[in-house]
Chains A and B, each alone.
Chain A
Amino acid sequence: MPAPSSIPCLVVDDQQTMRSLVRTGLQQLGFRTIHEAADGEDGLRHMLSRPVQLVISDYNMPKLDGLGLLRAIRSHPPIQKTAFIMLTGRADKELVQRAVQFGVNNYLVKPFTVGTLKEKIEAIFGVLA
């Protein structure tokens, strides 16, 4: 039963609103170390200097989108094991399928509730303490 406080996360979204919403949700679930990045490149840069265990990333972002970030993470050995949840605007089958190809761990459709967020994380890490 992993303790959320021991799982550092990174929230990647070009919208401050979404980052704050995800952060608030994570905080409610007991996560303590939550970093934020404004686009895929920013996220990757962050992970290279401070690796995390969970990335929750938007799909549609400038510079490097969520799929690009996922591919980069999966093909760069030092960070390739990082769990990755893709945030999508709607349940887009094609997008989710592509994300699966690149090794996404789970996906989350906006708008979401804290309950859904918990479910999606627990499907990866097991029931949270």
Chain B
Amino acid sequence: MDPLAAIRETFFQECEEQLAELESGLLAMEGGDQDPETINAVFRAVHSIKGGAGAFSLEALIRFAHVFETALDEMRSGRLAPSNDVLKSMLRAADVLADLVRAAHAGDEAEHPGAATLAEELRTMSGAAGAEDESEEDWGDFEFQPMAVAVEGAEAPAAAPAGFKVAFKPRADLYAKANEAALLLRELTRLGHAEVELDAHDVPPLNEIDPEAAYLSWTVTLTGDADETSIREVFEFVDGDCELEVTPLGGSAESEGGEPAFDLSSLLARVQGDAPAEAAPEAPVEAFEPVAPPPPAPVVAPVVAAAPPPAAPPAAANETAAEGQAAGGPRKTEAGATIRVDLDRVDRLIDLVGELVINQAVLAQRVMEAGLARASAVAMGLDELEQLTREIQDSVMAIRAQPVKSVFQRMPRLVREVAAMTGKPVRLVTEGEGTEVDKTVIERLADPLTHMIRNAIDHGLENPEKRAAAGKPAEGVVKLSAAHRSGRIVIEVSDDGGGINRERVKGIAIEKGLISAEATLSDEEIDNLIFMPGFSTAAEVSDISGRGVGMDVVRRSIQALGGRITISSRPGKGSTFTMSLPLTLAVLDGMVVSVNNQTLVAPITAIVETLQPKAEDVHSLGGHARVISIRGGFVPLIDVGMALGYRNEPLPATQGVALLIEGEGGARAALLCDAIQGQRQVVIKSLEANYRQVPGVAAATILGDGRVALILDIDTIVTVSRGDMRKAG
């Protein structure tokens, strides 16, 4: 790929991170966070997006980001108070910025409908400062002069002579105590190459000279390896009897007047705390007691210990470095601990590990068949291999795992929008954002979650008046949480609204012919009616809850991920939708069954129960269509062998085993198989990628004996068989 195109992709990836940072920062500020670093981070996020957009000439993005940045700058400098209204506008601006980033990524040049008005709003907020445009500002008489440096071959500048400017002005006391300036200067010149300048300006005319006064001062430019400590040591015994200023060359202590104090030694200590091995390269090694860090070893290095109060930076650095080492564990991982890897590479690795798992199973079976004892070295080695293979598989799967945060963080915006549309004040509470699950699961969660959150606000929460009447706070709460539970991820969407109106739900279901008027349903069964296809409680399809798609679509997408969704509701208290999903889509818990000497796998998540059909429960509907009575209800009995074309005559029901399954939309059916072999975790292999799509077959896997087993597509089998049954009936 063209390097610039690759960088452009990186830019958009980074934008997503910055947008997330922007939003969470603004939300934190809305929640009362006054840490200046928060507003800085918010500002930096927009600033970075603008900077990158500039590099790729994304004009619309640059323009908006600039206005936004200006307003944030006003807020950062304290000229614009972060009131709730201001923050609300900023959050909307963040939404627009996100839209613009995505539009730019997609190459969409259409005008953003909200950008202009919001930009105007931001400009008004920024006041006069916002009027300042992008053009170069007037630099007046200030002219920048680049500072040239001499290059010394390939040598790193660390070896180049460093140096100090030493300003030395003896007081009269120095001479009175029989010290000699010339001796001090001579000693100083031994530390390196020195240029000594005498300042004799203060010397009065001869007749006015006080022989005991001090008039001379010197400026020594000392280059070489000497450090500040050794320079100050020269003047150790005249300390207090002279004015001494030691300034690093190139630095300009005199011009730092207006700047806040700068503490190099603590900075160095902090930085080197993360890299103790490199601490203080120029420091004499003997000066430190490496085993016991706290006291800087006065016995070994009396000179260093006796140095003037501001401890020499290297000493302080090493001291703190040692402390930092003990406490610095987590900090290390913070910096540069992640890499970006092409997803294809990870998937290739997952594929290979899948092969390894299969191979290991094949090998184990072969060893068993060879009749080797369980305790034989080969069998034991194989057990270890199995253990390792499983660990590798888990670790590799973990690479694809991502925190659900990436989808959770899209929800605050959705909540803001839906809240604005419905006029219901809503607070979104999220929990367990760090919970990890496979990337594909996360991607495919976005739509169902969006839908459920819309529903929770639109249908779940009452309007403020009703809430007030029920003694609830006007602001409704929608809670989104994620947690790991017994090898799956459980995601809950709950609201503190009125709960499901069961009378109304039942009425609608009857009206739509989904249930008969006489049906007696438990509360749970009534609640679950909302998952039925064609059920929609909204009197008219609102903008918010969508285009006539209901909870049945949500359920279908969750099931497509191998998940389950349930609802629980308490009148007046609210409803909770609970989704339980597998952590990965690469392996599946399967029920291995035989049908006409074929081995097939049914996903365990779809199986409600297994049963041995009794002759009196099975009723023929003519043709090959049969139903089976289970606890008073009838469900179609589908012969899997017939459905997949393995046989032409149905298996007598009493000779087989039935799997009661629940497919799409809650439709139940019983799948008749010859026998159950057992439960097993299987590695999913795409049939489409390796062969072609086959109706009734979702995918394939390879079993321990090396044979391919097909994984049943329960939904298709049920739908197709029902069609057949209708024809037959």
- Other-chain residue from A16, A80, A92, A106 in contact with B14 (beta carbon distance below 8 A): A16
Contact check, A41 vs B270: say whether CB atoms are below 8 A apart. Answer: yes
Chain B contacts for A42, CB-based, 8 A: 335-336
The reply to whether B251 and A74 contact each other, CB–CB distance below 8 Å, is: yes
Whether A81 lies near B55 (C-beta < 8 A) is no
Kindly list chain A residues whose C-beta atoms are within 8 Å of the C-beta of B256: 101-102
Q: Are the CB atoms of B156 and A52 closer together than 8 Å?
A: yes
**In-complex Cβ contact of B151 among A48, A51, A106, A125 (8 A):** A125
The smallest beta-carbon distance between B354 and chain A, in angstroms, is 32
The interface bits of chain B over 279-322 (1 if a CB of A lies within 8 angstroms of the residue's CB, else 0) are 00110000000000000000000000000000001000000000
Residues in B neighbouring A2, C-beta threshold 8 A: 151
Contact A53 B157 (CB under 8 A): yes
B349-369 CB contacts (< 8 Å) to partner A: none
> In the complex, are the beta carbons of B7 and A24 less than 8 A apart?
yes
Q: How far, in angstroms, from A53 to B155 measured CA to CA in the complex?
A: 9
Measured between beta carbons, the chain A residues less than 8 angstroms from B268 are: 44, 48, 72, 76
A30 in the interface (beta carbon within 8 A): no
Nearest-CB distance from A119 to chain B (Å)?
9
Cβ contact within 8 Å between A15 and B336: no
Report whether A76 and B313 are in contact in the complex, using a CB–CB cutoff of 8 Å.
yes
One digit per residue, 1 when the CB lies within 8 angstroms of any chain B CB and 0 when it does not, for chain A 46-72 equals 001101110000001110100010011
Query: Could you give, for residues 68-86 of chain A, a 1 whenever the CB lies within 8 Å of some chain B CB and a 0 otherwise?
Result: 1001101111111111000
| Residue on B nearest A20 in the bound complex, by CB | B7
B377 at the interface (CB under 8 A from A): no
A123 to B271, CA, bound (A): 31
| Size class of the A contact interface (CB-based, 8 Å) | 35 or more
Q: Are B248 and A80 within 8 A (Cβ)?
A: yes
Contacts A17-B52, A74-B248 given; does A83 touch B149 at CB 8 Å:
yes
User: Is B144 an interface position by the 8 A CB rule?
Assistant: yes
Contact among A80, A91, A104, A111 with B147 in the assembled complex (CB-CB below 8 Å): A104
Q: Across the interface, do A80 and B10 meet the contact criterion of CB distance under 8 Å?
A: no
Scoring B48, B248, B336 by chain A CB atoms within 10 A of each residue's CB, the highest score goes to: B48
CB of B634 to closest CB in A, whole Å: 61
Contact across chains for B51 and A89 when beta carbons are under 8 A apart: yes
Min CB–CB distance B331 → chain A (angstroms): 10
Instruction: Evaluate contact between B149 and A105: CB separation under 8 angstroms.
Output: yes
> Quick one: which of A7, A44, A76 has the most chain B CB within 10 A?
A76
| Alpha-carbon separation in the docked complex, A16 to B18 (Å) | 12
Question: Cβ of A60 and Cβ of B44 under 8 Å apart?
Answer: yes
> B119-154 CB contact bits vs A (8 Å, 1 = yes)?
000000000000000101111101010111101011
Query: Which residues of chain A from 10 to 26 have any CB-CB distance to chain B below 8 Å in the complex?
Result: 14-18, 20-21, 24
* A103–B252 touching, CB < 8 Å: yes
In the complex, the chain B residue whose C-beta lies closest to that of A79 is B158
- Which residue from chain A places its CB closest to the CB of B54 in the assembled complex? A111
Partner of A123, one of B10, B52, B148, B262: B148
In the bound assembly, the distance between CA atoms of A106 and B227 in angstroms comes to 27
Of A20, A60, A64, A76, which one neighbours B47 at CB under 8 angstroms?
A60
Q: Select from chain B the residue with minimum beta-carbon distance to A81.
A: B157
Q: Is the CB of A92 within 8 A of B137?
A: yes
B50 at the binding interface (Cβ < 8 Å):
yes
Q: List, in ascending order, chain A residues with CB within 8 A of B251's CB.
A: 74-75, 80, 102-103
Q: A74 to chain B: closest CB distance in Å? A: 5
Residues of B within 8 A of A72 (CB): 262, 264, 267-268
Across the interface, which residues of A come within 8 angstroms of B163, CB to CB? 77
Docked complex Cα distance between A8 and B164 (Å): 25
Interface readout for A83-125 with B: 1 if CB under 8 Å, 0 if not? 1000001111100111011111111001100000000100111
B41 interface residue, CB < 8 Å from A? yes
CA separation between A77 and B43, bound complex, in Å? 34
Q: In the complex, which of the residues A17, A79, A83 contacts B55, with contact meaning CB atoms closer than 8 Å?
A: A17
A38 at the interface (CB under 8 A from B): yes
B275 within 8 A of A: yes
Bound CA–CA A123/B198 (angstroms): 34
Establish whether residues A125 and B146, one from each chain, have CB atoms under 8 Å apart when the complex forms. Answer: no
Contacts of B262 in A (CB 8 A): 68, 71-72, 75
Residue of A whose beta carbon sits closest to that of B40:
A62
Contacts of B569 in A (CB 8 A): none
B11 at the interface (CB under 8 A from A): yes
Provide the bound-state CA to CA distance between A63 and B204, in Å.
53
Give every chain A residue within 8 A of B158 (Cβ-Cβ): 51, 78-79
Tell me if B207 is interfacial: C-beta within 8 Å of chain A.
no
- Minimum C-beta distance from B443 to chain A (A): 22
CA distance A126 to B152 in the complex (A): 12
Are the C-beta atoms of B252 and A62 separated by less than 8 Å?
no
Measured between C-beta atoms, what is the minimum distance from A106 to chain B in Å?
A: 4
Contact B14 A103 (CB under 8 A): no
* B148: nearest chain-A partner, CB-CB: A124
B46 to chain A, nearest CB (A): 11
The minimal Cβ–Cβ distance linking A56 to chain B, given in whole angstroms, is 14
User: In whole Å, how far is A39's beta carbon from the nearest beta carbon of chain B?
Assistant: 8
* A49 cross-chain contacts in B, Cβ below 8 A: 275, 277-278
Q: Which residues of A contact B146 (CB under 8 A)?
A: 105-106, 120, 123-124
8 A-B pairs with C-beta separation under 8 A:
A20-B6, A45-B278, A49-B278, A53-B156, A62-B44, A75-B248, A93-B142, A124-B148
Residues of A whose CB lies within 8 Å of any CB of B are 2, 6-8, 14-18, 20-21, 24, 38, 41-42, 44-45, 48-49, 51-53, 60-62, 64, 68, 71-72, 74-83, 89-93, 96-98, 100-107, 110-111, 120, 123-126
- Additional pairs, 15, CB under 8 Å, beyond known A52-B157, A77-B248: A17-B7, A17-B11, A42-B335, A45-B278, A62-B44, A74-B251, A75-B264, A80-B248, A81-B160, A92-B137, A101-B252, A106-B144, A110-B51, A111-B51, A124-B148
